[in-house]
Structure 1
Amino acid sequence: MKIIATTRQAQGTGASRRLRRADKLPGIVYGGNVAATPIELEHNPIFYALRKEKFHSSILTMELDGKDMLVVLRAFQMHPYKPQVMHIDFQRINADEPVTMSVPLHFFGAENSPAVKISKGLVSHARSSIEVSCLPKDLPEFISVDLSGLTAQTTMRVSDIVLPEGVSAVVHGNEDPVVVSVVAQVEDEEEDAAADATAEAAPAAAAPAEAK
């Protein structure tokens, strides 16, 4: 994905307001042992790109003043109630240095798992993404997680996820966060049992009298 940007000359609150009124978006690109550079971009292409999952977790090419560089999205601010991006931050990256990114998880196969088909459990997703570290060329757009082997006793953690080659999960200390767990539908079973007991205890309804 390619982004077109130019160096932003005028800075400050008033200058940013004028940019927004002209359908421009103020931003900044930093990192790479280079001074942070204020930039401006066309608003609408960024607004629609932010709706795409891969824009948030991919290596992007930014053409800044005619020169290409690799960047990743780091932050953006939206207007409280208008469909408008107020500011956006990008970070320069080096193709030969690892990058740390949050990558979305795509789950599949839960409906065919013993946890659902046999135990009638509910699959609970504790996380929808994980942080990974890898070289830019190895960064996945998303990570597929197969849930077809889930059982009623399964608790899947970050360490259980099969990662692509060259990609490692980033965790802090001895943490191993839960990603997926299975919750038994105890309440539903208890309600059904109570309903059955009530039905058995209730007297049979009298048959309606035949009309003469």
Structure 2
Amino acid sequence: MSDVLELTAELRTDVGKGASRRLRRAGKRVPAIIYGGEESPQNLTLAVNQLVKVMEQETFYSQILNVVVDGQPTKAVVRDLQRDPASNKVHHVDFQRIDMSKVMHATVPIHFINEDNCVGVKMNGGSILHNMTDVEISCLPTDLPEYIEVDMKDVDVGYSIHLSGLALPAGVSLLAFSHGDDDQDHDIQVVSVEVLRGSEAAEDEDAVEPAGEVPTVADDDKDNADDES
């Protein structure tokens, strides 16, 4: 697990849509809520400047955070983040408390490495197609990985990597395979290397005639040839 990011929050007593609008209009703080566990939900406010800075880290969206309320840190994860559709400014953040002794579900990013050295791209003119950029996992909070790594170095044209081919850290499992039915039904393709139509490699492939194929002579042409002989 990576270094824990920290956010300092203040309890919010003035609640409701009107209060939230006034808070956002002031431009310095954002409404939030933290819930889960044995404690009651708490309405909070977050400093915009600190929130924006922490959100620059990829781990903000997938890792356990320290949400400090009245000086007391609470382990939590981001469960929802609402933005204004016009300005893209954060409107509201939902945090869920985490029990460090219980298995949790999380969505973590997939990092693709060695794409520039991928044999299917470098040697055979293929293109890498990303079908997934993150994945849902299950693990104890102490085993939560920062990301899942996929090595593209040896993937050739026409080949792909599915969920079942991911190298998972110890203690981590995929939620897709926790349904109790046939795993093959949930073994989604993560990434593939293909020759895209219209590319030079595809045109070269189309230009090559299959070996040993003899052009056929139309019946009319054959009759004319017989008459002339």
TM-score range, shorter chain: 0.7 to 0.9
* Alignment root-mean-square deviation, CA: 2.0
**Residue number in structure 1 paired with 2:122:** 117
Query: Aligned pair in 2 of structure 1 residues 148, 65: CA closer, same or farther (>3 Å)?
Result: same
| 1:183 partnered with 2:194 | yes
Unpaired runs of at least 5, structure 1: 196-212
Matches within 5 A, 1:1-212: 1-22=5-26, 23-171=28-176, 173=179, 174=183, 175-189=186-200, 191=203
Q: TM-score of the superposition, structure 1-length normalised?
A: 0.84
Identity, % of aligned pairs? 37
Query: Aligned pair in 2 of structure 1 residues 42, 170: CA closer, same or farther (>3 Å)?
Result: same
**1:8-55 CA distances to partner (integer Å, 9 max, x unpaired)?**
111111111222233111111111132221111112211232232111
Q: TM-score of the superposition, structure 2-length normalised?
A: 0.78
One-letter amino acid of the counterpart of residue 2, structure 1: E
Cα distance in 2, alignment partners of residues 184 and 27 from structure 1? 47
- Paired residues in the alignment total 195
Cα distance in 1, alignment partners of residues 11 and 67 from structure 2? 12
Unpaired runs of at least 5, structure 2: 208-229
Cα distance in 2, alignment partners of residues 167 and 187 from structure 1? 41
**1:93-152 CA distances to partner (integer Å, 9 max, x unpaired)?**
011111111111111113323212332111101011111111111111112211111012
Cα distance in 2, alignment partners of residues 118 and 43 from structure 1? 48
Cα distance in 2, alignment partners of residues 71 and 9 from structure 1? 21
One-letter amino acid of the counterpart of residue 79, structure 2: R
Cα distance in 2, alignment partners of residues 70 and 13 from structure 1? 27
Cα distance in 2, alignment partners of residues 192 and 98 from structure 1? 52
Cα distance in 2, alignment partners of residues 146 and 163 from structure 1? 12
Cα distance in 1, alignment partners of residues 206 and 155 from structure 2? 29
Contact 1:47 1:84 in 2 (8 A): no
User: Mean alpha-carbon deviation: is it higher for 156-165 or for 15-24?
Assistant: 15-24
**Residue number in structure 2 paired with 1:205:** none
Query: Aligned pair in 2 of structure 1 residues 29, 104: CA closer, same or farther (>3 Å)?
Result: same
Q: Which has the higher strand share?
A: 1
